[in-house]
Amino acid sequence: MAIRAFAWLNPPSRWQGDSAKLTLSTEDATDFWRHTFYGFVRDNGHAYLTDVSGDFTASATVVGDYRHLYDQAGLMLRIDERNWIKTGIEYTDGLMHFSVVVTRDVSDWSVIPLPEARPEQGVAIRLTRHGDAVRIQYSIAGTPWRMARLAPFSDADARVGVMACSPERAGFEASFKGIEVGPPISRKLHAE
């Protein structure tokens, strides 16, 4: 696999590593969100991204010190500040959830409670674009991939990589390993 160049969108002041293994500590009140329900726009979350075009699969395993409301870390697919997807683990209601936010000028939000997940074990996340659709999956501790969302989304040139935010505090610690971007997995949605 070719080496990809990654660059920061809103770099945190404390980070180290590269696409093989990356750790960071978030700044205060960071997030990606547009309008819906809360009525505000934030585009100051931290994202380590590389250019993509056409179909692809991006994946990473994320570990975080989830303690405060909305602490989050995972993957991001971004065309611009009005069109993006963020997905990963988000802490809400005292529990880790698998979270997906699809934004096409306004953000939506879906969550799947993960009572079996432990912050220290990590969760693998996979995002695949097939034309104008994006499939989002997760795996806990080596379990089979589970689909969380299949969403319509533009096939325009974009950037993809990892992201982390902490809307309610500073200092959320997140780490990522196995950050990969490559050819898309099969379009087959269901295992035989």
Give the architecture-level CATH label for domain 21-182: Sandwich (2.60)
- How many helices (H) and strands (E) are present in the chain, helices listed first? 0, 16
With helix as H, strand as E and coil as C, how does 34-101 read? Answer: ECCCCCCEEECCEEEEEEECCCEEEEEEEEECCCCCCCEEEEEEEEECCEEEEEEEEEECCEEEEEEE
Residue 87 zone, left/alpha/beta (φ > 0; ψ -120 to 50; rest): beta
pLDDT, tens digit (0-9, with 9 covering 90-100), for 117-135: 888 889 999 999 999 999 9
pLDDT recorded at residue 36: 83
Q: What are phi and psi of 23, to 5 degrees?
A: -125, 150
pLDDT < 70: residue spans in the chain:
1-3, 191-192
Residue 38 confidence (pLDDT): 79
Q: Which letter, b or e, does each residue of 107-118 get, where b requires 16 or more Cβ atoms within 10 Å of its Cβ?
A: bebebeebeebe
| pLDDT for 192 | 46
Q: Residue ranges per domain, the chain? A: 21-182
Q: What is the predicted pLDDT for the residue at 1?
A: 47
User: What's the confidence (pLDDT) of residue 111?
Assistant: 97
* pLDDT (0 to 100) of residue 3: 62
